[in-house]
Amino acid sequence: MDESDLAAGYELPGVDLSGEELLVLVVPPQADEFTCSSCFLVRHRSQIAREKDGHFYCKECEG
């Protein structure tokens, strides 16, 4: 009974809301998309111009 009381005490109001805001800001790219390491925009994989050390760069940034 003591454990359940402790768990309930850790559920602070507002924690869930801040978590949702983070999810909105950090949107993982889809399987056919990538995040450009120069302009940080999510683009289609067909726009990959260069890959270096696991970082992708779009055609616009690479000219």
12-51 residues in contact with Zn ion (CB under 5 A) are 36, 38-39
Q: Are 39 and 61 in contact (CB under 8 A)?
A: yes
56 lines the binding site for Zn ion (CB under 5 A):
no
Closest separation in Å from C-beta 44 to Zn ion: 12
- From the CA atom positions of the chain, what is the Rg in Å? 20
| List 34, 47, 56, 58, residue binding Zn ion (CB under 5 A) | 58
Sign, Cα dihedral of 51, 56, 61, 63: positive
Which positions lie near Zn ion, rule CB under 5 A? 36, 38-39, 58, 61
